[in-house]
């Protein structure tokens, strides 16, 4: 569910590393937002996209 419909960005996995070098698992989630875009036919479509794609789309409008 946490996947951008434009760029395909999804959760990434890694480790928290403490001062003593002890590693625990963690997940980085993309910041997914629901927004409405205009489809090529002129019909509004609701999509889930990341905020990075939202910024890119704002530059091209």
**Residue 4, domain member (yes or no):** no
Q: How many CA atoms lie within 13 A of 46 on its CB side?
A: 2
User: Does residue 48 carry a pLDDT above 70?
Assistant: yes
Q: Which two structure tokens, joined as six digits, stand for 38? A: 């205009």
User: Does residue 50 carry a pLDDT above 70?
Assistant: yes
Global pTM value: 0.77
Cβ(28)–Cβ(14) under 8 Å?
A: yes
Tally of structural domains, the chain: 1
Q: Residue 45: give the domain boundaries.
A: 12-60
**Residue 39, domain member (yes or no):** yes
Cβ(2)–Cβ(46) under 8 Å?
A: no
Q: For 1-47, write each residue's pLDDT tens digit.
A: 799 999 999 999 999 999 999 999 999 999 999 999 988 888 999 99
CATH number of the domain residue 55 falls in: 2.30.170.40
Distance CA 23, CA 50 (A): 28
**Residue 6, domain member (yes or no):** no
């Amino acid at each position: 569910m946490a996947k951008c419909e434009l760029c395909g960005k999804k959760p990434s996995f890694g480790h928290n590393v403490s001062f003593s070098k002890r590693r625990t698992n963690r997940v980085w989630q993309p910041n997914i937002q629901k927004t409405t875009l205009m489809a090529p036919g002129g019909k509004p479509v609701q999509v889930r996209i990341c905020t990075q794609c939202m910024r890119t789309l704002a530059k091209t409008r």
